[in-house]
Amino acid sequence: MKKNVGKIDTWIRILIALVILVLYYFDIISGTVAIVLLVAGIVLLLTSLLGFCPLYTIFKINTCKKAEK
């Protein structure tokens, strides 16, 4: 697994996941919408922690900076 999620992308994903968690905690979102958003938040958090996003490989996106030689 080659990393394809950069630092800024990682922090944005973590921030979005935390916002979803806070919205759920304070009952601003509930029901089916809450479940879908929580699953999306978990996926965002996992991809940010791993540094790898499977969708990025499908669309050939890479937000990591290239290592200079």
CA 67 to chain centre: 23
Structure tokens at 42: 């978990």
Domain ranges of the chain: 7-58
- DSSP codes joined into one string, 21-60: HHHHHTTSS-HHHHHHHHHHHHHHHHHHHHT--HHHHHTT
Residue 67 has pLDDT above 90, yes or no: no
**pLDDT digits 0-9 by tens, 8-60:** 999 999 999 999 999 999 999 999 999 999 999 999 999 999 999 999 999 99
pTM confidence score: 0.87
Q: How far apart are CA 14 and CA 39, in angstroms?
A: 13
